[in-house]
Amino acid sequence: MTSLNSVSLVLVISSCFVIALGGNFHQDFDITWGDGRAKILNNGELLTLSLDKISGSGFQSKNEYLFGKIDMQLKLVPGNSAGTVTAYYLSSQGSTHDEIDFEFLGNLSGDPYILHTNVFGQGKGNREQQFYLWFDPTADFHTYSILWNPQRIIFSVDGTPIREFKNAESLGVAYPKNQPMRIYSSLWNADDWATRGGLVKTDWNQAPFTASYRNFNADACVSSSSGSSSCTPSSTSSSSNSWLNEELDSTSQERLKWVQKNYMIYNYCSDSKRFSQGFPPECSINTSA
């Protein structure tokens, strides 16, 4: 991807303002459920979610965002995490919600995690792409990023793009652009479907399961009222190549193709059995491998 300028962007925004957040969990997030299983540690620099047989846990951002570049470092549940799901996503509320998903599907020890991605527009999802990762996501922290602007959504891992979802409104496809979204994350039991279609159940002898988070950063439009879609760089912006207009350069396009050729394990735009009457219209502009 093209590089981001380190100087905070000055944006002219209708009913929004821009901030660059540096990642204090006390300031930026609320623990929303789990009865003590979620913890903010190290003076706000670390957050952990835990799951046991009684409950999982979760958190959400205090702010709502309308376009931005969101980074979070995660270290996933180690060992036998079969049946567990660690979800990290942006979402609005309601039946016509928008959503941008990372979900990490647990595994038997020695098997790879599955990284599941999805995009919802106006309540319609079913746009799944799934990947293996080229490293062990439980051994250390890795950066998972969502770039969301009016033209495209780019999912990246450690700066390498793995998926691009382009705005296909011209084809009649709803695109997330009007509904501010919060950041959510949860660790929960999904052994009815998560690992090998539900064939492998959660081994509660391994509990509690714990995932860790650090180094949150958001260069983003923070919504101060709902319904705004204006987020335009001002003439005084120090960068003409901000996240708001960011796109994949040729090097990043090659990296995307490399990931999708070698690590993609499911693409809804290639599932001819599921879409026997024809692929969804956005597939015509969202092919890269």
Annotation marks residue 246 as catalytic: no
The tokens for 260 are 């999708």
* Other beta carbons less than 10 A from residue 31's beta carbon: 18
The residues pairing with 131 across neighbouring beta strands, listed in sequence order, are 115, 264
Q: Which of 99, 164, 246, 282 is catalytic?
A: 99
Q: Cis peptide before 281, with omega less than 30 degrees from 0?
A: no
Annotation marks residue 45 as catalytic: no
Measured distance between the N- and C-terminal CA atoms of the chain, rounded to whole angstroms: 17
Q: How far apart, in Å, are the Cα atoms of 242 and each of 22, 144, 147, 195, 280?
A: 18, 19, 11, 39, 30
Q: What is the largest CA-CA distance in the chain?
A: 59
Q: Which of 103, 164, 246, 282 is catalytic?
A: 103
> Catalytic positions, please?
99, 103
